[in-house]
Structure 1
Amino acid sequence: MTAPKRAIRWHIGVFLAPAVLIYTAIMILPLVGTLQLALFKAVENVQTFVGLDNFRTLFGDPNWSTGFWNALRNNVWFFVIHMLVQNPIGVMLAALLSSPKLRFSAFYRTAIFVPTVLSFVIVGFAWKLILSPLWGVAPNLLDLVGLKFLFSPWLGKESSALIALSLVSVWQFVGIPMMLIYAALLSIPDEVIEAAECDGVTGMAQFWKIKLPLILPAIGIISILTFVGNFNAFDLIYTAQGALAGPNYSTDILGTFLYRAFFGFQLQVGDPNMGAAIATMMFLIILVGVCFYLFLVQTRLRRYQF
């Protein structure tokens, strides 16, 4: 007796087709086009295949390599500040707001999350005005608490401009890790918490020994999202410091460097082929980071899932 044939589930393909077509049109095709453009060069207004020559120029020509390594170094520092400041603060806020004893926790969650829905243009210009030494309110606010001596034109100094913008970005997006960690804390089974309380593990000890290990997978997801988002960053730097990412390129990151290379700015003539090469390097950096997380970090975090 022959086994009955398994029914072909055509409806799965029908439901997936619109999403696949849209994703292909707005993500896959532009990505392939960018990778292809990076392998060509305009010779007498004719696109000519040059292989990896654009990448050799990017790494070997001081006119390009100096700006690229500066932007990459700033981007790494931009990411490190988010990892060391934004995500720990998000975890701390989530732990506080998940306490059943805290009153008005819904109001606090909303207030902290609201900046994430604001436009980059609004955030960039608002903080530029706040931190201005001429008409900003930051000097007056520090003067009220007797700390005006700490104020300086942070956005106008090479040593502090990138740090100041990184902290502004932290202020805007700290609500995202807070909400994700908050959801992870709420998903911990009540039986686990009750068992810990029966063993006398309460307060901060309960968070460090019980809750934190259980939310490590969520922290891992937040970390990789932070990595991808920071290495795709552009809007805040461009809004606050312009395409030149001043002062003296001290806030230049890969996104602004790509913008100037592709479209040109002031005396710099745009070169779409070199811009595509920079975009390809950004894609490879993000791809390596995501693969590192998926194959090395996530596999070790599975033991903490419940």
Structure 2
Amino acid sequence: MSDVETMRRPRRWHIAVFLAPAVLVYTAIMIIPLADTLRLAFYRSIDGQQALAGFDNFRTLFFDPRWSASFWNALKNNVIFFIIHMCLQNPIGVVLAAILSVPKLRGRSFYRTAIFLPTMLSFVIVGFTWKLILSPLWGVTPNILGWVGLKWMFGPWLGQESSALVTLALVSVWQYVGVPMMLIYAAMLSIPEEVIEAAELDGITGFSQFRKIKLPLILPSIGIISILTFVGNFNAFDLIYTAQGALAGPNFATDILGTFLYRTFFGFQLQLGDQNMGAAIATMMFLIILSGVMIYLFFVQRRMRRYQF
């Protein structure tokens, strides 16, 4: 290509014009706060002045008994919270999507709307509603279990250390199971009809068709849902805070990294806020999420590309 043709090529300034608002907004509300949080994690407040502390905040977080016990407890609860979602929410979403994709199923639109509707509800409504439903004093759960002869199973699940976290995780699964269902359902609709017809001609129908044909083709979508679940659960805060408060009771049994960060950064009751230690916790959350996403992108997604059309 000659220099004259290169000079005559029009400059596409309109691309920068259209991208500028989104880039400015994203930079203002995401990039700058993230960079400042990372900066605060390496400083410490001394007599009202910020002084460079290096990795001292992280050493305190990991090894100081006053901080490490709470941090490892919150991280452990976060892992349990995530595992419950991975083992229940996503498989249930896949099963629901498979059922809704059956052509002869009547009322598919109603079922899709009913299952996806809780996802659109405010977390405040969901948290308080389930807290009332599960209340031993005025909740409806004891009566419902009594109607089917299972009242003996009921207990103060949100008030017991052994069951509070699992109970809230199941509530979260109920609320957000519609997300994987809709994504998997959309992936199934994108499968070419020729593939399904060829499988039916070979006598592959029903569950066998789903296992041998559809499931391998929707694996990329399942991978995306898994990483979204990972990111969402390690950023979780709202449901725990609404149902159990900032102390994530009972006795910090439902404390996760989000609530631990909130108490540390902003303070709560008799606990004073510490921005630097809060920034250190936020930095660890960022590194955990970044590590999970990088592992997925470099080790999992590459192996799934062969299933994509």
Q: Same fold (TM over 0.5)?
A: yes
1:8 aligns with 2:19: no
RMSD: 0.9
Partner residue of 1:255 out of 252, 255, 258: 258
Q: Deviations over 1:44-72 (max 9, x none)?
A: 11111111111111111110000000000
Q: 5 Å matches for 1:41-80? A: 41-80=44-83
Unaligned 5+ segments in structure 1 are: none
* 2:193 partner letter: D
Residues 122-137 of structure 1: matches in 2 within 5 Å? 122-137=125-140
Q: Distance in 1 between matches of 2:94 and 2:119?
A: 16
Shift of 1:264: 0.9
Q: SS at the partner of 1:136?
A: coil
* C-alpha deviation, 1:266, in angstroms: 1.5
* Greater displacement, 282-291 / 260-269: 260-269
Q: Distance in 2 between matches of 1:195 and 1:24?
A: 49
Find the partner of 1:176 among 164, 179, 184.
179
d(CA) in 2 for partners of 1:174 and 1:253? 21
Distance 1:220 1:80 in 2: 15
SS in 1 for 2:50: strand
Which stretch shows the higher mean deviation, 228-237 or 51-60? 51-60
The unaligned stretches of length 5 or more in structure 2 are none
- Percent of paired sites with the same residue: 76
Please give the secondary structure, in 1, of the residue aligned with 2:45: strand
The whole-number CA distance in structure 2 between the counterparts of 1:269 and 1:71 is: 19
CA distance, structure 2, for counterparts of residue 11 and residue 267 of structure 1: 54
Equivalent positions of 1:1-306 (< 5 A) are 2=2, 4-5=5-6, 6-306=9-309
Aligned mates of 2:251, 2:46 — CA distance in 1: 32
Q: CA deviation at 1:12?
A: 1.6
Aligned length: 306
Please tell me the residue identity of whatever aligns with 1:93: L
Query: Structure 1 length normalisation: TM-score?
Result: 0.99
Shift of 1:29: 0.3
Deviation at 1:92, TM superposition (A): 0.3
Which amino acid is the alignment partner of residue 267 of structure 1?
Answer: L
**Aligned letter for 2:261?**
L
> In the aligned structure 1, how far is the partner of 2:40 from the partner of 2:144?
50
TM-score between the two structures when normalised by the length of structure 2: 0.98
